[in-house]
Amino acid sequence: MRQHPLSSLHIPRGPSVTFHAIPFPIPEASAAVLKYLGGECLRLDREIAGCANDDRLRRLAAQQKESTVDALEVFLAAIRSSSGVEFTRPSYSRRALW
């Protein structure tokens, strides 16, 4: 019997899940930063793929991508803390995935 691909996904259980959501629409300046950082991540992914034969360049691009992803996560956390909205939704049950 095959296992459903999402069955190993950790899904919060309980009556509800609460988290800080980023409000929509976000300010244009914030959107521009997110677009830039996301674009850099994609560019670095392509650069990493193009450096398949050069370990040194691949490692350098991977380090740059890691720094860019860190900057993206810090920026998202800043948006959540400054203008985030506490959002509560019902939790998912395992049955909802089948």
- Tens-digit pLDDT profile for the chain (98 aa)? 555 555 555 555 567 778 788 888 888 999 999 999 999 999 888 888 887 788 888 888 888 999 999 999 999 988 888 887 888 887 766 554 44
Q: Which of 83, 89, 88, 38 is nearest to 65 (CA)?
A: 38
pLDDT of residue 98: 46
Q: What share of the chain is helix, strand, coil (3-state, %, to 5)?
A: 60, 10, 25
